[in-house]
Amino acid sequence: MKTLIFTLALAYLTAQEIPVGVWMYKQDSSKIELFNKDGTISGTLISSKNPSNEPGTEIFKNFKFKNGKWQGELYLIKVQQWVDASFQLKENLLLVEYNYGFLAKSFYLLKENHHK
């Protein structure tokens, strides 16, 4: 039943593409796979040239489409902490925004194989 409800909700979001697939963080060539998990979007680190980034680490969780953007939680590996975050799909880029302390930060993820 949850799958049916999620499918209907996704069909309603025709203007918003669902950002599942593999995304790359260019600064250290980390790759994150975004996928549907229990009716929300989650993401796991699948590879990285940064030795402190362990593949298999959950990076995104509980993302739902609200108020024109995806909102959920982002795991900050360096400080080992979950923070509230949002992302917006802009063609082949995901603009990820989050707050850490008093600072608002953002970064981009590039869709892997977007040209194919």
Map out the domains of the chain with their CATH numbers: 2-8+19-111 (2.40.128.520)
- Model pTM? 0.80
Does residue 15 register a pLDDT over 90? no
Cβ-based neighbours of 27, under 8 Å, separated by 6 or more: 107
Report the C-alpha gap between 89 and 80 in whole angstroms. Answer: 26
Residues paired with 28 in a beta bridge = none
Report yes or no: 93 and 109 within 8 Å, Cβ to Cβ: yes
Between 63 and 16, the more confident residue is 63
Place of tokens 């949850």: 2
Q: How confident is the model at residue 48 (pLDDT cuts 50, 70, 90)?
A: very high
pLDDT of residue 1: 53
Report the C-alpha gap between 102 and 39 in whole angstroms. Answer: 31
* For the chain, percent of residues with pLDDT exceeding 70: 84
Report the C-alpha gap between 3 and 26 in whole angstroms. Answer: 33
Helices (H) and strands (E) in the chain, counts: 1, 8
Report yes or no: 112 and 21 within 8 Å, Cβ to Cβ: yes
- Run of H or E residues at 10: helix 2-12
pLDDT of residue 49: 93
